[in-house]
Amino acid sequence: MSRNQIRRTNQVGGAQLLRFLVGAGITTSLVVAFALLHVYNIRASSDLKKLEQEQAKLDRQVNSARLQSERLRSPRQLSDRSVQMNLGLISISQLEIVEAPVRRPWNGADLAKEETR
């Protein structure tokens, strides 16, 4: 083989090798990008699941608080609680709340008596 033929053979082989390496590099980068996106999707889905669970927990708490507030707003419940707490309320209806006469205010002597007890 002549030197020119050897040079042409080396040049052709070099170009093919370069194309192969570029193709392999692009393919490898695409595979790595796909793997990273897949990992990102898995993390995002787990975060979404956690957020959905927290949202469900908050919804349960809101529903519970709503039910409790409805129960506490009922006139019967208010009457029972006012008797238990001795708030000085005479009667409770949905239209009005009538207050009992005002108790005498506390003064310093009463506070001193309470502290000595």
Does 66 lie in the same domain as 12? yes
Number of domains in the chain: 2
Same domain, 47 and 100: no
Q: Is 98 helix (H, G, I), strand (E, B) or coil?
A: strand
Phi, psi of 27 (to 5 degrees): -60, -45
User: CA–CA separation, 62 vs 54, rounded Å?
Assistant: 12
Residue 105 DSSP label: P
> Count of residues for the chain?
117
| Helices and strands per DSSP (H, E), number in the chain | 3, 2
- pLDDT, one tens digit per residue, over 1-42 is 566 666 666 555 567 888 899 999 999 999 999 999 999 999
pLDDT at 72: 77
Whether residue 82 is predicted with pLDDT greater than 90 in this model: the reply is: no
- Please give the structure tokens belonging to residue 73: 């707003």
Backbone torsions φ then ψ of 47, nearest 5 degrees? -65, -40
- Axis crossing angle, helix 3-73 with helix 75-85, rounded to the nearest 10: 70
35-75 pLDDT, tens digit per residue, is 999 999 999 999 999 999 999 999 999 999 998 888 877 77
Range of the domain at 110: 75-117
- 76-85: b (≥16 Cβ within 10 Å) or e: eebeeebeee
Are 63 and 109 part of one and the same domain?
no
Is the domain of 27 the same as that of 5?
Answer: yes
